[in-house]
């Protein structure tokens, strides 16, 4: 089973690989990492979402929002702040997520019946609930092979897509991370008939050398 985003690798100084050393060096020098710490966000990913919201401010008070693969919780923090505590934000991840005020956080696998039931238990009307926004910043743990890593993450994207198409209410929004590897066109082609608008967005907070991008689909047609 692929691990959802937020995988926390514990490094020991004596066993760092060159890639891990490079990652830690980049993290320590990354201005968005430093800004996240200063602003109280759990991760630099919060700034990616904030940039997307500058282009498409889709959060509103009173919304029901589901964050798939929410750890460490940066997106949940932004969602809770933008909805003013008057809606409901539910995050779910395989890993523990430290508490966030006004956010329901579940340690579960949404791709299993048990995980879905735990999620439904937190939503108004349970399994029949229709939500306003589905977020997914999930990525599979990398194995170092570009094509394999891309396929593993795309599999998670497709699971998030399936959840969104089943549970969004008319006018709803789906935002997902993906890695450009050639399959993104097929995803766009699948989503366009279901939404008023869909487009790719690469925030400035995404590293320039990363294939990471985001697909934002708005105006779910039901």
**Residue bearing tokens 């238990």:** 121
Give which of 113, 109, 69 is closest to 91, Cα–Cα: 69
3-state secondary structure (DSSP) of residue 199: strand
Report whether 100 contacts 73 (CB < 8 A): yes
- Name residue 178's beta-bridge partners: 213
Catalytic sites, residue numbers: 177
**Tokens linked to 17:** 């690989």
Residue 52 main-chain phi, psi, to 5 deg:
-65, -40
**Tokens linked to 19:** 């890639």
Report whether 120 contacts 93 (CB < 8 A): no
């Amino acid at each position: 089973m692929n691990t959802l985003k937020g995988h926390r690798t514990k490094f020991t100084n004596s066993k760092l690989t060159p890639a891990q050393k490079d990652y830690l060096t980049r993290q320590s020098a990354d201005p968005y990492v430093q800004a996240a710490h200063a602003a109280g966000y759990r991760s630099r990913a919060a700034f990616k979402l904030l940039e997307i919201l500058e282009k498409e401010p889709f959060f509103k008070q009173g919304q029901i929002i589901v964050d798939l693969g929410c750890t460490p919780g940066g997106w949940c923090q932004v969602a809770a702040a933008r909805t003013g505590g008057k809606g409901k934000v539910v995050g779910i991840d395989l890993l523990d997520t430290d508490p966030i005020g006004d956010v329901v956080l579940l340690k579960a696998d949404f791709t299993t019946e048990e995980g879905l039931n735990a999620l439904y238990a937190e939503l108004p009307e349970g399994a029949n609930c229709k939500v306003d926004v589905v977020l997914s910043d999930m990525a599979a743990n990398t194995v170092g092979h570009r094509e394999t890593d891309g396929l593993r993450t795309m599999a998670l994207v497709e699971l998030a897509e399936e959840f969104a198409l089943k549970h969004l209410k008319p006018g709803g929004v789906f935002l997902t991370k993906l890695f450009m590897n050639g399959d993104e066109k097929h995803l766009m082609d699948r989503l366009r008939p279901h939404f008023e608008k869909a487009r790719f967005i690469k925030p400035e907070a995404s590293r320039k050398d990363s294939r990471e991008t985001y697909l934002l689909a708005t105006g779910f047609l039901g």
